[in-house]
Amino acid sequence: MIVFDLICDEQHQFEGWFRNSEEFESQKDSGLLTCPICGSEDVTKLLSPSHLNFGKMEKQALDLLSIQSDAQQLINRINKYISTHFEDVGSAFAEEARKIHYSENPERNIRGTATLDEASELYDEGIDIFPLPPADDDKDKLN
Protein backbone atom coordinates (compact mmCIF):
# COMPACT_ATOMS: atom_id res chain seq x y z
CA MET A 1 0.00 0.00 0.00
CA ILE A 2 1.33 3.44 -0.97
CA VAL A 3 0.21 6.69 0.64
CA PHE A 4 0.41 9.81 -1.49
CA ASP A 5 -0.04 13.36 -0.29
CA LEU A 6 -2.49 14.89 -2.78
CA ILE A 7 -3.77 18.37 -3.58
CA CYS A 8 -6.65 19.57 -5.74
CA ASP A 9 -6.87 22.70 -7.86
CA GLU A 10 -8.67 24.42 -4.94
CA GLN A 11 -5.56 23.78 -2.77
CA HIS A 12 -7.26 21.19 -0.50
CA GLN A 13 -4.64 18.73 0.74
CA PHE A 14 -5.49 15.13 1.57
CA GLU A 15 -4.05 11.62 1.51
CA GLY A 16 -4.71 8.88 -0.98
CA TRP A 17 -4.01 5.20 -0.45
CA PHE A 18 -3.22 3.09 -3.51
CA ARG A 19 -1.88 -0.36 -4.29
CA ASN A 20 0.79 1.21 -6.50
CA SER A 21 1.54 4.27 -8.64
CA GLU A 22 -0.28 2.77 -11.60
CA GLU A 23 -3.52 2.55 -9.58
CA PHE A 24 -3.23 6.27 -8.76
CA GLU A 25 -2.77 7.16 -12.44
CA SER A 26 -5.58 4.83 -13.50
CA GLN A 27 -8.05 6.34 -11.01
CA LYS A 28 -7.01 9.87 -11.96
CA ASP A 29 -7.32 9.22 -15.71
CA SER A 30 -10.76 7.59 -15.32
CA GLY A 31 -12.15 10.42 -13.14
CA LEU A 32 -12.55 8.20 -10.08
CA LEU A 33 -10.09 10.25 -8.03
CA THR A 34 -11.76 13.33 -6.55
CA CYS A 35 -11.05 15.73 -3.72
CA PRO A 36 -13.01 14.60 -0.64
CA ILE A 37 -13.50 18.24 0.34
CA CYS A 38 -14.76 19.92 -2.85
CA GLY A 39 -15.19 17.04 -5.31
CA SER A 40 -12.68 18.43 -7.84
CA GLU A 41 -11.24 15.89 -10.26
CA ASP A 42 -8.12 18.01 -10.81
CA VAL A 43 -5.91 16.18 -8.29
CA THR A 44 -2.12 15.92 -8.30
CA LYS A 45 0.51 14.34 -6.08
CA LEU A 46 2.49 16.57 -3.77
CA LEU A 47 6.20 16.05 -3.47
CA SER A 48 6.84 14.08 -0.33
CA PRO A 49 10.18 13.15 1.24
CA SER A 50 8.80 9.84 2.37
CA HIS A 51 5.71 7.73 2.36
CA LEU A 52 4.26 5.16 4.67
CA ASN A 53 4.00 1.60 3.52
CA PHE A 54 1.94 -0.51 5.84
CA GLY A 55 2.21 -3.57 3.67
CA LYS A 56 -1.05 -5.47 3.70
CA MET A 57 -3.68 -3.51 5.58
CA GLU A 58 -6.64 -5.36 6.94
CA LYS A 59 -9.79 -5.21 4.82
CA GLN A 60 -11.64 -3.39 7.62
CA ALA A 61 -9.15 -0.52 7.56
CA LEU A 62 -9.52 -0.14 3.80
CA ASP A 63 -13.31 -0.26 4.08
CA LEU A 64 -13.23 2.44 6.75
CA LEU A 65 -11.11 4.70 4.54
CA SER A 66 -13.58 4.23 1.70
CA ILE A 67 -16.57 4.94 3.94
CA GLN A 68 -14.94 8.07 5.36
CA SER A 69 -14.17 9.37 1.90
CA ASP A 70 -17.70 8.62 0.66
CA ALA A 71 -19.23 10.29 3.73
CA GLN A 72 -17.09 13.42 3.31
CA GLN A 73 -18.02 13.66 -0.36
CA LEU A 74 -21.72 13.33 0.50
CA ILE A 75 -21.49 16.01 3.20
CA ASN A 76 -19.73 18.31 0.74
CA ARG A 77 -22.40 17.74 -1.92
CA ILE A 78 -25.23 18.40 0.56
CA ASN A 79 -23.58 21.59 1.80
CA LYS A 80 -22.96 22.76 -1.77
CA TYR A 81 -26.60 22.12 -2.71
CA ILE A 82 -27.87 23.97 0.34
CA SER A 83 -25.54 26.93 -0.16
CA THR A 84 -26.73 27.18 -3.77
CA HIS A 85 -30.48 26.63 -3.29
CA PHE A 86 -31.22 28.04 0.18
CA GLU A 87 -31.24 31.69 1.21
CA ASP A 88 -28.69 32.48 3.92
CA VAL A 89 -30.45 34.44 6.68
CA GLY A 90 -27.49 34.17 9.05
CA SER A 91 -28.17 34.57 12.76
CA ALA A 92 -31.77 35.64 12.04
CA PHE A 93 -32.58 32.01 11.23
CA ALA A 94 -34.90 31.32 14.18
CA GLU A 95 -36.85 34.55 13.68
CA GLU A 96 -37.19 34.02 9.92
CA ALA A 97 -38.18 30.35 10.34
CA ARG A 98 -40.98 31.43 12.68
CA LYS A 99 -42.22 34.09 10.25
CA ILE A 100 -42.32 31.54 7.44
CA HIS A 101 -44.00 28.93 9.65
CA TYR A 102 -46.70 31.37 10.78
CA SER A 103 -47.20 32.69 7.19
CA GLU A 104 -45.90 36.17 8.03
CA ASN A 105 -43.28 35.83 5.26
CA PRO A 106 -43.45 33.84 2.01
CA GLU A 107 -42.44 30.18 2.18
CA ARG A 108 -38.91 29.53 0.91
CA ASN A 109 -35.85 27.49 1.70
CA ILE A 110 -33.59 29.19 4.23
CA ARG A 111 -30.37 28.38 6.00
CA GLY A 112 -28.53 30.09 8.83
CA THR A 113 -27.39 29.68 12.38
CA ALA A 114 -29.28 29.24 15.62
CA THR A 115 -28.32 28.62 19.20
CA LEU A 116 -29.18 25.32 20.80
CA ASP A 117 -31.94 27.06 22.79
CA GLU A 118 -33.38 28.65 19.63
CA ALA A 119 -33.33 25.31 17.81
CA SER A 120 -35.04 23.62 20.76
CA GLU A 121 -37.75 26.31 20.83
CA LEU A 122 -38.35 25.91 17.08
CA TYR A 123 -38.70 22.17 17.54
CA ASP A 124 -41.14 22.66 20.43
CA GLU A 125 -43.25 24.94 18.21
CA GLY A 126 -43.44 22.25 15.54
CA ILE A 127 -41.17 24.08 13.11
CA ASP A 128 -39.15 21.64 11.03
CA ILE A 129 -35.43 22.33 11.07
CA PHE A 130 -32.47 20.18 10.25
CA PRO A 131 -29.05 20.83 11.78
CA LEU A 132 -26.09 20.14 9.52
CA PRO A 133 -22.39 19.93 10.24
CA PRO A 134 -20.61 23.05 9.07
CA ALA A 135 -19.13 23.07 5.59
CA ASP A 136 -15.35 22.71 5.52
CA ASP A 137 -15.07 26.44 4.73
CA ASP A 138 -17.14 27.29 7.82
CA LYS A 139 -15.16 25.12 10.27
CA ASP A 140 -12.40 27.73 10.50
CA LYS A 141 -14.96 30.34 11.58
CA LEU A 142 -15.90 28.21 14.61
CA ASN A 143 -12.40 28.33 16.09
User: If you write DSSP's letter for every residue of 20-78 in order, what string do you get?
Assistant: SHHHHHHHHHHT----TTT--S-EEEPP-S-----SS--HHHHHHHHHHHHHHHHHHHH
CA atoms of 85 and 54, how far apart (whole Å): 43
SS3 assignment, position 99: helix
Record the pTM: 0.49
**pLDDT per residue rounded down to tens, the chain (143 residues):** 788 889 999 989 888 888 888 898 899 898 889 998 888 999 999 876 555 555 555 666 767 777 777 788 888 888 889 989 999 999 999 999 999 999 999 999 999 999 999 999 999 999 999 888 766 555 555 44
